[in-house]
Structure 1
């Protein structure tokens, strides 16, 4: 990757900040420009840009002293509209995961993720992708209870869009969808943008979650676990 990815880390545990700091030092395309222990401090830095390099991406813990990460996530995005956010948390609570996605997080990883997984997530999200860490995608699929079917929402999607949304729900990336449906990657990308528009979501995790919550997809105990990947 040619472009340097500038990262801010918002994490209140010094030991974990040090782990991330050491991990990112070895990456030539990623620079940790700041690390702070509270969301309020992070917001002040972002708002006062006189002597600060604005980050491209924030690694955000949820359980912070003062305002939580969820409370301040929308403020981060309002302050810096192009800012990407990856939640990096110990919480796999359904409400935390879904709320973070709804508020615009492009990624959600558990702190048990490996350093390599975190680095890969930074690159994926920085280039416009969305990523759910190992176990999170599976968690969403297996824990969401099927709501009453939303026929209006279901009817809004074409058969091809339903096929692509289903493949997204199985953890397929664009290249795999293009191969399976024998269409181009650019065509898949066009369909995905239409799906996002129709479902009024910003990324694939949010589209998948909305589809399950609306009952568009039947809940299947044998559903794919998704694994890590660019959705």
Structure 2
């Protein structure tokens, strides 16, 4: 059985794309199945081929169709493929829009290659990943927003602890180490948190926790 994580890359900067491609090709448990300079080219490739990538690394600032505009078509074409945004943009509207559309991760290009590889594995394993600076930005942006109380969320002590660590910007591997539990247990807790809060991903969970009063407003 092929256990490689199949990764597709959409990035218009040739030098950066080449660097990422080399890193992916040199990682034993990953396979680069396509690299494209525009979303339209990547979508056409998916339409013409049966195989689906496990992970799509997607830049936002692309020629033609932007990364934000392409999330919907990518999800429609390959709903099983998980999207990680990899961009220079830390703009509120980009972060919130991308996560609302279903991105499983939002990373800045300042992320180290080794951290990126860990984040890809995290998302492939069913988790989510969020750049620490982006996580703080979301908290700072949303804490003043009014919201309704979450009905019947009933987060357990452990679930609340894990949600707090997510808000601090930790990824699944780091949470598992911090709490001295397995990464698979962390994944299960995170799924339960999303179900109870009725949210699709980590940024939405953190935002709802602040808006609903589960978390106190940041000082």
Q: Is the 8 A contact 1:146 1:215 kept in 2?
A: no
Q: Which runs of 5+ in 2 are unaligned?
A: none
Per-residue CA deviations over 1:148-167 (Å, capped at 9, x if unaligned) read 2412x2x4221526734445
CA distance in structure 1 between the aligned counterparts of 2:61 and 2:26, rounded to whole angstroms: 27
Q: Which moved more, 1:27-36 or 1:199-208?
A: 199-208
TM-score under structure 2 length normalisation: 0.84
Q: Is the 8 A contact 1:108 1:131 kept in 2?
A: yes
TM-score under structure 1 length normalisation: 0.80
Give the equivalent residue in structure 2 for 1:226: none
Give the equivalent residue in structure 2 for 1:43: 43
Per-residue CA deviations over 1:40-81 (Å, capped at 9, x if unaligned) read 11111111116xx42111100001111111111121111112
CA distance in structure 2 between the aligned counterparts of 1:207 and 1:189, rounded to whole angstroms: 14
Change (3 A) 1:159 1:40: closer
CA distance in structure 2 between the aligned counterparts of 1:185 and 1:7, rounded to whole angstroms: 21
Give the equivalent residue in structure 1 for 2:160: 163
Give the equivalent residue in structure 1 for 2:133: 135
| Count of equivalent residues | 213
Runs (4 or more) in structure 1 with deviation over 6 Å come to: 183-188
Give the equivalent residue in structure 2 for 1:32: 32
CA distance in structure 2 between the aligned counterparts of 1:88 and 1:190, rounded to whole angstroms: 25
CA distance in structure 2 between the aligned counterparts of 1:59 and 1:186, rounded to whole angstroms: 23
Give the equivalent residue in structure 2 for 1:86: 84
Give the match's secondary structure for 2:110.
coil
Change (3 A) 1:186 1:107: closer
Q: Which runs of 5+ in 1 are unaligned?
A: 222-231
Change (3 A) 1:120 1:194: closer
CA RMSD of aligned residues (A): 2.6
